[in-house]
Structure 1
Amino acid sequence: MLKRLSSREKFEQLIANFEPLIRKAFEDAVEDIKSRAEIGRIIERLERRDIDGAMRALHIDPAAFRPVDTAIATAYNGGGVATTGRLPPIRQPGGGQVIIRFDTRNVRAENWLRDHSGRLITNIVEDQRNAIRTAMVNGLERGANPRSNALDIVGRLNRVTGRREGGIIGLTAQQERFAANYLEDLLSGDPARMRATLERARRDKRFDRSVIKAINEERPVDAELAGRMVGRYRDRMLQLRGETIARTETMAALNESQMEAMRQAVDGGVDPTAIVKVWRSAHDNRVRDSHRAMHGQEVSLNGKFTCPTGAVLAYPGDPEAPASEIINCRCWMETKIEFLAGLE
């Protein structure tokens, strides 16, 4: 006999289905930008110290991230369909059954998807442009070879995989600052700064012996080797970026679609006062203390959950809440309709 999945298990199943989809869409968009960048043109513009021209040759624009938009819409639809599919049988006063189907063409649903995805993609594009522009300026100021500067941004071609690795494209401005500081520390020749690089969680530990050897010999890490180390560091930061976007956006899409499914149920005649939202914690040592304290908190359909920090959220992963409350959040929301819900 097949085991009946709990509400939590059903939600985790949805995450398992859609999180990889959004992550791959982001990774594919980054790869597309790297593969289409005009390397020769970027180098030529940097030689002329034309930052704007070099930026244009990268062709970083919102259209490149439309696959992310599509993946979020797919997750949103999946979450809404799953929610309406588990609604209890609801009868009209005359005995007829109320049928609720999730409609992504509903004006509210379309507006949320358009506005949310639009803000997300705009932020991704602008943050990357800022990171890349800063890297170009820094490269020119330190007298870096234009070709090396360009490859630091786009990534160097792996002859085996045919893909570019170690570039800045896809990283946030903050992540690139981490990478730039990592390079400076490796090249500093300062034993304390070099030793501190061995504590970076995203470093490739296979290079640790080279760093220790340089420290013992009282010299900086070889520039070419340091470049490779930072390239691997950027790749791992990019992986983290994709995972973070995927988790955060999957949570937002699934929970917002639950809300919309319930609104559509109300449109179909369900009494809104019979709908309750319940905050559920993941119940492990990775959960924020504040979110653990919210476990079991109940609010109305249009109500807000109140966090001990003072933040209010419509649901876990609410994009309107502070980033500190939603990034990598793994809590979930249960929506319930009282079995004897009346009809308007």
Structure 2
Amino acid sequence: MVVAKAKAPSETQYVRKVQGWIFTLGAAVALRDLARAIRTGRTREFWKADREPLAERHQVPLEELVPVFEEGFLREARALRMEVPENLASLWLRRYGLARARDLSETTAKGLRALLAEAIKWGEHPEEAARRIRDLVGLTERQARALMARRRALLEEGLPPGKVEAIVSRQARRMLRRRAETIARTEFIAAQNHSRLEAWREAQRQGVIRRGAMKEWVTAFDERTCPICSALHGERRPLDEPFSIGVMAPPAHPACRCSINLV
């Protein structure tokens, strides 16, 4: 019997892993580079996700999900009594993992560039702003702008700068923890769904399941169900075609809890 090469982490374990990762991002950014970007105004060039070594070294640890993908694939393979192809890890990374890592890295980069642009806009001292910003690396652009708006509002209220920075720092940590949890849960669900889809596609290639087999979107209905997922429930597509929103399998959005069935 073929088994996964490594034990898959639980969703909770993976959440903790990603939270640990996100709180190390700032340490990877050199203060002098941040200060230089603020001083020169060249924020758009900072941390290019497609070629910057910093982005490559500090991408979301999606490789930790390879065992999740392997276990899901093997579970379907046993149920379908199909042959298992070599190197499932490569299949996962090639079809999904590498692209997602780049996307998430670019989201982080946009958040960082927003923080740098804000420091330039308000004429902050480059070195002082760099020290403050480094603790905020990992926020999305939306989170970064919201946090800076909160900081400006507190300063305008006349609160002492030291107290303002303490408040902002606590809020930033909550935001970072929340973003890490969202990333982890979203990617965990993605690994599970894509493992099933890839097993079905391989089974179809082997002739184990019929050529007309389809995948069906299954929405988790409760008080948290969003309009996007409600509309997708029951939608069917051939295994090699995307659903109407352009994805091959859930998630449809961050924190999506949907799944797929073979029909």
TM-score by length of 2: 0.77
Matched, 1:122 2:115: no
- The match for 1:171 among 139, 151, 169 is 139
Q: Please tell me whether the aligned partners of residues 276 and 298 of structure 1 are also in contact (alpha carbons under 8 angstroms).
A: yes
Q: Please tell me whether the aligned partners of residues 118 and 148 of structure 2 are also in contact (alpha carbons under 8 angstroms).
A: no
- The match for 1:226 among 130, 150, 164 is 164
Measured at CA, do residues 303 and 38 of structure 1 come closer, stay the same or move farther in structure 2, by a change above 3 Å?
A: closer
- TM-superposed CA distance for 1:257, in Å, is 1.3
In structure 2, what is the equivalent of residue 83 of structure 1?
Answer: 76
Measured at CA, do residues 171 and 59 of structure 1 come closer, stay the same or move farther in structure 2, by a change above 3 Å?
A: farther
* Structure of greater Rg: 1
In structure 2, what is the equivalent of residue 315 of structure 1?
Answer: 249
Measured at CA, do residues 85 and 253 of structure 1 come closer, stay the same or move farther in structure 2, by a change above 3 Å?
A: same
In structure 2, what is the equivalent of residue 70 of structure 1?
Answer: 63
Residue by residue over 1:29-64, the C-alpha shift from the partner in whole angstroms, topping out at 9 and shown as x without a partner, is 33343334444x4587479x25669x68x9732122
Distance 1:283 1:147 in 2: 50
Unaligned residue ranges in structure 2 (runs of 5+):
1-7
Unaligned residue ranges in structure 1 (runs of 5+):
1-15, 88-98, 155-166, 190-219, 318-324, 337-344
Distance 2:184 2:167 in 1: 26
In structure 2, what is the equivalent of residue 26 of structure 1?
Answer: 18
> What secondary structure, in the 3-state scheme, does the structure 2 residue paired with 1:270 have?
coil
Distance 1:113 1:237 in 2: 28
Residue type of the partner of 1:80? Answer: F
Distance 1:131 1:290 in 2: 25
In structure 1, what is the equivalent of residue 87 of structure 2?
Answer: 105
Distance 1:296 1:46 in 2: 49
> What secondary structure, in the 3-state scheme, does the structure 1 residue paired with 2:87 have?
coil
Matched, 1:270 2:208: yes
Residue by residue over 1:51-98, the C-alpha shift from the partner in whole angstroms, topping out at 9 and shown as x without a partner, is 669x68x97321222x613123232222212222333xxxxxxxxxxx
- TM-superposed CA distance for 1:136, in Å, is 3.0
- TM-superposed CA distance for 1:280, in Å, is 2.1
Matched, 1:254 2:181: no
Residue by residue over 1:134-193, the C-alpha shift from the partner in whole angstroms, topping out at 9 and shown as x without a partner, is 423432443434443122222xxxxxxxxxxxx22111122101111111122223xxxx
> What secondary structure, in the 3-state scheme, does the structure 2 residue paired with 1:144 have?
coil
Measured at CA, do residues 137 and 59 of structure 1 come closer, stay the same or move farther in structure 2, by a change above 3 Å?
A: farther
Q: What value does the CA root-mean-square deviation take over the aligned residues? A: 3.4
Residue type of the partner of 1:316? Answer: P
Q: Please tell me whether the aligned partners of residues 60 and 125 of structure 1 are also in contact (alpha carbons under 8 angstroms).
A: no
Distance 1:237 1:122 in 2: 21
Q: Please tell me whether the aligned partners of residues 135 and 153 of structure 1 are also in contact (alpha carbons under 8 angstroms).
A: yes
Q: Please tell me whether the aligned partners of residues 114 and 145 of structure 2 are also in contact (alpha carbons under 8 angstroms).
A: no
Matched, 1:326 2:253: yes
- The match for 2:132 among 152, 159, 168 is 152
Residue by residue over 1:243-277, the C-alpha shift from the partner in whole angstroms, topping out at 9 and shown as x without a partner, is 22112222222111111111222233313246343
Larger relative CO (CA 8 A, sep 6+): 1 or 2?
2
Q: Please tell me whether the aligned partners of residues 84 and 102 of structure 1 are also in contact (alpha carbons under 8 angstroms).
A: yes
Distance 1:290 1:31 in 2: 31
Distance 2:37 2:211 in 1: 62
Q: Please tell me whether the aligned partners of residues 187 and 221 of structure 1 are also in contact (alpha carbons under 8 angstroms).
A: yes
Measured at CA, do residues 298 and 50 of structure 1 come closer, stay the same or move farther in structure 2, by a change above 3 Å?
A: closer
Q: Please tell me whether the aligned partners of residues 218 and 261 of structure 2 are also in contact (alpha carbons under 8 angstroms).
A: yes
Measured at CA, do residues 286 and 44 of structure 1 come closer, stay the same or move farther in structure 2, by a change above 3 Å?
A: closer
Residue by residue over 1:202-259, the C-alpha shift from the partner in whole angstroms, topping out at 9 and shown as x without a partner, is xxxxxxxxxxxxxxxxxx3222211111111111111121122112222222111111
Measured at CA, do residues 301 and 179 of structure 1 come closer, stay the same or move farther in structure 2, by a change above 3 Å?
A: same
> What secondary structure, in the 3-state scheme, does the structure 1 residue paired with 2:25 have?
helix
- The match for 1:285 among 214, 220, 223 is 223
Measured at CA, do residues 137 and 333 of structure 1 come closer, stay the same or move farther in structure 2, by a change above 3 Å?
A: closer
Distance 1:138 1:282 in 2: 40
